[in-house]
């Protein structure tokens, strides 16, 4: 079933929308949540919650790219769950690694208060990256894909992926410092 038909099912409040979404995007969402949580049980719950969250959002929302819409929900739910797990000392997966890597580019001296401004900076930074670098950056920090998987998906060596990410984190660090974010 194509995305437009699935969205129509959501809009008509037809519960087949969830079934069709699970069939088409279940593995995709599980892959994103799994990278973050590293736990089959937590991942499954997260993916189930994704359909529920989508059910409550459509309508009024009408996603342009359904995959990204579901993926973003799964990512956010998984990060929330990761934070709860971490508080209970059960955290794991790629999230801790991604956070560790990102801490190289942002200080903790002052708390970030203007998230909208940060969003604009990040958007501009990513738009300015060469396409290949942007893809690699987002596969790592949006999808939180392990670097080995990023390398395989783009036909690169893992070392090259890591070096590219390192260089781009350095660039982001410069941008954030220049903008005075987190200093």
Query: What residue ranges bind another protein (CB under 8 A)?
Result: 28, 31-32, 64-65, 67-69, 71-72, 75-76, 79, 83, 95, 98-100, 102-103, 105-108, 111-112, 115, 118-119, 122-123, 126-127, 132-135, 138-139, 141-143, 145, 148, 152-160, 162-164, 166-167, 181-182
Beta carbon of residue 97, minimum distance to another protein (angstroms, whole number) = 11
Distant-in-sequence, close-in-space partners of 76: CB < 8 Å, separation ≥ 6: none
Contact assessment for residue 140 and residue 158, using Cβ atoms and an 8 Å cutoff:
no
Rounded to whole angstroms, the Cα distance separating 8 from 28 reads 21
The answer to whether 14 touches 21, Cβ cutoff 8 Å, is: no
Nearer to another protein, 1 or 102 (CB): 102
CB of 45 to another protein, least distance (A): 19
- The three-class DSSP label of residue 157 is coil
Work out the burial of residue 70: count CB atoms within 10 Å of its CB; fewer than 13 is exposed, 13-18 middle, 19 or more buried.
buried
CA distance 38 to 119: 27
Comparing CB distances to another protein, the nearer of 1 and 118 is 118
Residue 52 or 68 having the CB closest to another protein: 68
**Which CB sits closer to another protein, 12 or 27?**
27
Can you tell me the distance from the alpha carbon of 161 to that of 164, in angstroms, rounded to the nearest whole number? 5
- Least Å distance between CB 168 and another protein? 8
CB of 157 to another protein, least distance (A): 5
């Amino acid at each position: 079933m194509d995305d437009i038909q699935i969205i129509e099912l959501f809009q008509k409040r037809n519960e087949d929308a969830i079934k069709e979404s699970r069939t088409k995007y279940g593995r995709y969402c599980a892959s994103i949540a799994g990278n973050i949580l590293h736990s089959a049980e937590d991942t499954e719950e997260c993916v189930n919650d994704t359909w529920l969250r989508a059910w409550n959002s459509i309508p009024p929302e009408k996603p342009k790219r359904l995959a990204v819409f579901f993926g973003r929900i799964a990512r956010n739910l998984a990060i929330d769950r990761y934070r709860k797990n971490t508080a209970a000392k059960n955290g794991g997966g790629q999230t801790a690694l991604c956070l560790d890597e990102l801490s190289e580019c942002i200080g903790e001296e002052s708390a970030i208060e203007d998230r909208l401004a940060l969003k604009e900076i990040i958007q501009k930074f990513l738009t300015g990256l060469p396409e290949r670098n942007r893809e690699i950056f987002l596969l790592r920090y949006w999808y939180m894909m392990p670097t080995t998987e990023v390398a395989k998906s783009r036909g690169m060596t893992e070392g090259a992926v890591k070096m590219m990410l390192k260089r781009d984190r350095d660039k982001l660090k410069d941008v954030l410092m220049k903008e005075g974010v987190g200093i």
